[in-house]
Structure 1
Amino acid sequence: MPPSRSDVAPAAEPVSDDEQADRADGHEASARPSRAVVVALALSSAFGLIASFTLLLEKIRGLQDPAYRPSCSLNPVVSCGSVMNSEQAGVFGFPNPMIGVAAFGALVAIALALVAGARFARWYWWGMLAGTTFGLVFVHWLITQSLYEINALCPYCMVVWVCTVTAFLAVVSHLIRTSPARLPGWVRGLPGWAMVIGVIWVVAVAGLIAERFWYYWQTLV
């Protein structure tokens, strides 16, 4: 009597030599990220590193010369000097731009590796999610401090804000797209809305800035 269809085991999917080595080590590599994720990580990390490094240079020049006026101090509202000299600018005991240089520098290295075709274990992507989530929370705390405590804006800081959110959305998009678990359809569809979510976030923050400093903006009209 021939075996029933339910008794026949499904054929195993072919596994490459690299994947077999990864699984033998207990570190199965995640799927390659999409081109959009790689581009988002590369651009956000590059611009974030440039902005953070520039801020660090401005901070060093300010320490060397107390009378130094930062290049991004343009008016009473757009004033990097006010932000850099605040307590919030060194909340961990050292200048915040040092965190940005280290974090975005690491992301630049990761983005370059991805461009070269590297594949990272899934736990590595979860580590990236932890790092970008910390950055996301820290950035939003800094946004509230800039708007409602320091009462000044730093253009380079705002570049860092956008880059941090972009990197976070890129990492989340990759983890959702490559998740082995069965996720609800609306969750699976989130990566396709990542750019829209980012734009909405930028518009929301821009609205908060416009409302907070409207007393000054209207004097320029």
Structure 2
Amino acid sequence: MRRTAGGSRAFALLLVLCGAAGLLASWVITLDRFKLLEDPDFVPGCSLNPVLSCGSVMESDQAEAFGFPNPMLGLAAYAVVICVGVSLLAGAAFPRWYWLAFGAGCLFGVGIVSWLQFESLYRINALCLWCCLAWLATIPLFWYVTSFSVRNGFLPAPGPVKTFLAEFTWVLPVLHIGIVGMLILTRWWDFWTS
């Protein structure tokens, strides 16, 4: 088992890009949330129709899962992701505990995203495009960080799993995003086809 590990340039860039995408989404949602608090009649720019309705999502109870607006958590979490990516680009190597803590944060993030996906599709009955960008940032982030930890021996896994992840990590986020896309498509099939 390795004691420390740094990441490849590609992995570091993936972290920076996913973190930047999530940070952008969180920032825009936070700004729109402030505007909505100032003016209850404010309509966010991404409220395009009954399905793509950021305002409906922002005004839901689920938008404050921890007692404060969810994007505030995203502002901090995605900033950490960017910092880790930039540190890797600079040649940093982190110990096992660091990667496990980072992976736990990514697991928490994908868990929250999955819950929000369910809530958006089946309870709120609307999608926020900026939230979807955060989903698209979090899903590959989770799978690639998990793969990195398994391949470096920080998380135990059998040899075939390590071999698969060494070559085909990309399959997991593509499959995950594809399933979410199919759920969205089938949930509003009548709307999209009418």
TM-score (ref. length: structure 1):
0.83
Please, which moves more after superposition, 181-190 or 206-215? 181-190
8 Å Cα contact 1:166/1:198 also seen in 2 = yes
Give the greater-gyration-radius structure (CA).
1
Q: Distance in 2 between matches of 1:184 and 1:57?
A: 46
Q: CA deviation at 1:35?
A: 2.8
Tell me the equivalent position of 1:206. Answer: 181
After superposing on structure 2, the runs of 4+ consecutive aligned residues of structure 1 that deviate more than 6 Å are none
- Listed as ranges, the matches of 1:78-89 within 5 Å are 78-89=52-63
Q: 3-state SS of the aligned residue for 1:69? A: coil
1:80 is aligned with what amino acid? C
Query: What does the per-residue CA deviation read over 1:116-155, in whole Å, with 9 as the maximum and x for residues that have no partner?
Result: 1111111000000110101111110000000000000011
1:44 is aligned with what amino acid? C
- Listed as ranges, the matches of 1:1-80 within 5 Å are 29-80=3-54
2:92 counterpart of 1:118: yes
User: How many residues in Structure 1 have an aligned counterpart in Structure 2?
Assistant: 192
Q: Distance in 2 between matches of 1:109 and 1:80?
A: 28
8 Å Cα contact 1:41/1:166 also seen in 2 = no
Q: 3-state SS of the aligned residue for 1:202? A: helix
2:119 is aligned with what amino acid? Q
TM-score (ref. length: structure 2):
0.94
Q: CA deviation at 1:180?
A: 6.7
Q: Which runs of 5+ in 2 are unaligned?
A: none
Q: Distance in 2 between matches of 1:207 and 1:36?
A: 28
8 Å Cα contact 2:121/2:127 also seen in 1 = yes
Q: Which structure has more RCO (C-alpha within 8 Å, separation ≥ 6)?
A: 2
Q: CA RMSD of the aligned region, Å? A: 1.5
Q: Which runs of 5+ in 1 are unaligned?
A: 1-27
8 Å Cα contact 2:5/2:152 also seen in 1 = yes
2:165 counterpart of 1:194: no
Q: 3-state SS of the aligned residue for 1:112? A: helix
Query: What does the per-residue CA deviation read over 1:130-186, in whole Å, with 9 as the maximum and x for residues that have no partner?
Result: 101011111100000000000000111011111111111121121112117874222
